[in-house]
Amino acid sequence: MIQRSAVVVTLCALIAVVAVTWPQHSTYLRWTQQLEQTLHLRREIARLDQVLTVNAILAAATGDRKWQDIYLEHEPVLDRVLSDAQALLARLDVNSDADGLTGIDATSDANTALVNMEHEALAVAASGRLAEAIKILAGSEYSQAKARYNDCLRTLGESLEQLVEQKGHELAEHSYWLGLSAICTLVLATAATALMLFDHRRQARLFQGEIAATRDRLELAVKSADLGLWDWNIRTGEVVFSDSFAAQLGYEFHELKPHVSTWHELLHPDDKSAALAATQQILARPDAQYEDQFRLRAKDGTWKTMIARGRVVARTARGSAARMVGTFVDISDRMHTETQLSQTRRLESIGQLAAGIAHEINTPMQFVSDNIEYLDDCARKLFEVVDAYQKNLEDDGQPKSWQQRRDELNEVIRRTHFERIREHIPSAIAESMEGIHRVIQIVRAMKEFSHPGREVKLGVDLNNAVRSAVTITRNRWKYAAEMELDLDPNLPTVTCAPAEINQVLLNLIVNAADALIDKYGDNTGDKGTITIRTRSEAGYVAIEVEDTGCGIPAEIRDRIFDPFFTTKVVGKGSGQGLSICYNVVVNKHGGTLDVESTPGVGSTFRICLPLQTQSAIDDEPVPVGAGMEEVSAELMLTATND
């Protein structure tokens, strides 16, 4: 009877709490959804603005129609997102707080001003006047409009934060009464549970139900995370693979032999030695967490990039590993996305330098054009001299003495300034050839840097890569620094991904130039020095990029490689440059990236890449406890910048 009363009281209390809390909970969910949508629209506005800006600059710099098409494709999307944001803020009942809607209106007006200027630049570029189009986008009026737009975005964000804080206070007040109700419910439920503990059979059923629910949740979590499970009996070599792991590779469960040899057969030949070595090291280290990345062959013949994680969960009486359990995660799509992001960043870097590159091409082409006009005038005068000689050599029926003929020719030579022409033509041709070679050098460097990256690693001349990077970035550093190159002529080629290493060099040189501008100012006449050296040492090649910048403060030095961390003002730095460098050097080339910096003096970035790797590991599995040795030579790139 007491148990029945406790159950009835508990149920009544639960019904009362649900009746009170459910409307509040529903209101909270609706507000959470609307606020998340608002924040999403804010991020989307910033992203679309960046897309429009980059494509407008590319269209103005290159005159390529495809960049204008991309711009026109995204422009209505940004307008629609701004309209959605305004409608959403209106639904959030913020009419009493005009800052939110005013922020949207101001953002829309600032965006309209930017779009008008960008349309003007696109129209000018479409007519072939690229230099004028670049001038529009590089002008102070466009920069001021861009700054106003960024200020509007910041104001909008602050309005949203105030809205979140206001709603948090309201929910806190309502939660107070809900807390009291929950406490009452807890007291009643505790009393009822204490009575029910006497019923052993009921307790057993509840316990079994909880075990089943936990098992179901675990299975759902594994499926939701797309994890492949494995359980390895190290002594027998048997491995139990889960259905999800077989599905990751496109196999049916029964098609995978439950043995460690299956893993060896699926491993990529280039990854096998390193993967086996990593496994043996974990088996020999107690309580070590195993994590490794390698490629496995799928059923359709493609290669899937996997991350394996696990731990030794059982050992023999002698301490040898007996059982190891872990998971597989397929990161192939993520790797593909990172590759696309790297290519996008590389093209973005070229786009940001487009105006300077156009100026670098225009300067030599200008004096080439002037020299050609001069040579054209010289050619007409030379033909006049030749015609005079030909006329005096022909028999026109009128007898002339040699003195008369000589006098006529001397008059033509004097009138055409023949001696001066003969003196100046070689230098005009030499200057024109120099200008043409300069343009060819810039175009060739642009071609190398804008070429899509490939996963295949090739032998690369790092001296040539440095020269190309210096050429591409010349307009960025020439007003702030003197560039000195000390390149080893006997530098060996290095096997690496050319496009990715080019991007690393470009990022480091641009960062060095920005650091010098921060120290000496822009167009002040004071210059620092960027010195790039290459050297060949035992087992590796070193590149040093040294500047006389202001250095990196010690308190932020450990964060400079974090994604999206930047000390630059909004709109100037994305915080991805050094993060991409770290990913290329450490994750994709197996190297290291370190920095040394002295505030007020400068900074030194050192990149160390493997040059050649040899392994003593055979393709067959190594017995537990066997020692593994790996000998590697390294490529070191040292880049100094502040």
The rounded distance, in Å, linking the Cα atoms of 594 and 337 is 26
Domain boundaries, the chain: 2-196, 223-330, 359-442, 453-639
pLDDT digits (tens, 9 = 90+) for 353-405: 666 667 667 767 877 888 888 888 888 888 888 888 888 777 666 777 788 88
Q: State the burial class of residue 178 (Cβ atoms within 10 Å of its Cβ: 0-12, 13-18, 19+).
A: middle
What's the distance, Cα to Cα, between the start and end of the chain in Å? 79
User: Is 49's pLDDT higher than 80?
Assistant: no
Residue 20 is predicted with a pLDDT of 60
Q: Where does 453-639 sit in CATH, by number?
A: 3.30.565.10
Query: Token pair 């230099």 is at which residue?
Result: 131
Q: Where does 223-330 sit in CATH, by number?
A: 3.30.450.20
Q: From residue 621, how far is each of 45, 263, 297, 546 by CA, in Å?
A: 54, 10, 18, 47
Pick the closest to residue 581 from 514, 525, 474, 497 (CA basis).
497
Which residues touch 288 (CB under 8 Å, ≥6 apart)? 281, 282, 311, 312
- With cut-offs at 50, 70 and 90, classify the pLDDT of residue 613: very low
Pick the closest to residue 549 from 526, 580, 571, 569 (CA basis).
526
The rounded distance, in Å, linking the Cα atoms of 442 and 156 is 43
pLDDT digits (tens, 9 = 90+) for 402-436: 888 888 888 888 888 888 888 888 888 887 887 78
The rounded distance, in Å, linking the Cα atoms of 349 and 347 is 5
The rounded distance, in Å, linking the Cα atoms of 171 and 161 is 15
| Token pair in block for residue 118 | 């960008």
- With cut-offs at 50, 70 and 90, classify the pLDDT of residue 296: very high
The rounded distance, in Å, linking the Cα atoms of 210 and 245 is 27
Q: Going by DSSP bridges, is the β-strand pair 321-330/227-233 parallel, antiparallel, or unpaired? A: antiparallel
**Is the entire prediction scored with pTM above 0.85?**
no
For the chain, what is the mean pLDDT? Answer: 75
3-state secondary structure of 591: coil
Residue 472 is predicted with a pLDDT of 79
| Token pair in block for residue 138 | 């590089």
For the chain, the C-alpha Rg in angstroms (whole number) is 36
Residue 524 is predicted with a pLDDT of 66
Please state which of the ranges 3-12, 248-257, 522-531 shows the lowest mean pLDDT: 3-12
AA letter at 308: A
Q: Which residue has the higher pLDDT, 444 or 530?
A: 530
Complete DSSP assignment for 85-98: HHHHHHHTT-TT-H
Query: Token pair 């030794």 is at which residue?
Result: 312
CB atoms within 10 A of CB 294: 21
CB atoms within 10 A of CB 423: 10
The torsion angles phi and psi of 615, rounded to 5 degrees, stand at -135, 140
The rounded distance, in Å, linking the Cα atoms of 109 and 122 is 20
CB atoms within 10 A of CB 305: 18
The rounded distance, in Å, linking the Cα atoms of 317 and 281 is 20
Bridge partners (DSSP) of residue 224 are none
| Separation of CA 511 from chain center | 15
Q: Do 38 and 90 contact (CB within 8 A), yes or no?
A: no
Q: State the burial class of residue 258 (Cβ atoms within 10 Å of its Cβ: 0-12, 13-18, 19+).
A: middle
Q: From residue 153, how far is each of 118, 205, 304, 568 by CA, in Å?
A: 19, 57, 41, 18
pLDDT digits (tens, 9 = 90+) for 243-276: 888 888 888 888 888 998 988 889 999 888 888 8
Percent of the chain, pLDDT > 90?
1
Residue 504 is predicted with a pLDDT of 85
pLDDT digits (tens, 9 = 90+) for 311-367: 888 888 888 888 888 888 888 887 777 667 666 665 665 565 666 667 667 767 877
CB atoms within 10 A of CB 514: 20
| Token pair in block for residue 119 | 């349309």
- With cut-offs at 50, 70 and 90, classify the pLDDT of residue 641: very low
pLDDT digits (tens, 9 = 90+) for 80-103: 887 777 777 666 554 444 444 456
Q: Which residue has the higher pLDDT, 163 or 573?
A: 163
Please state which of the ranges 2-6, 57-61, 138-142, 150-154 shows the lowest mean pLDDT: 2-6
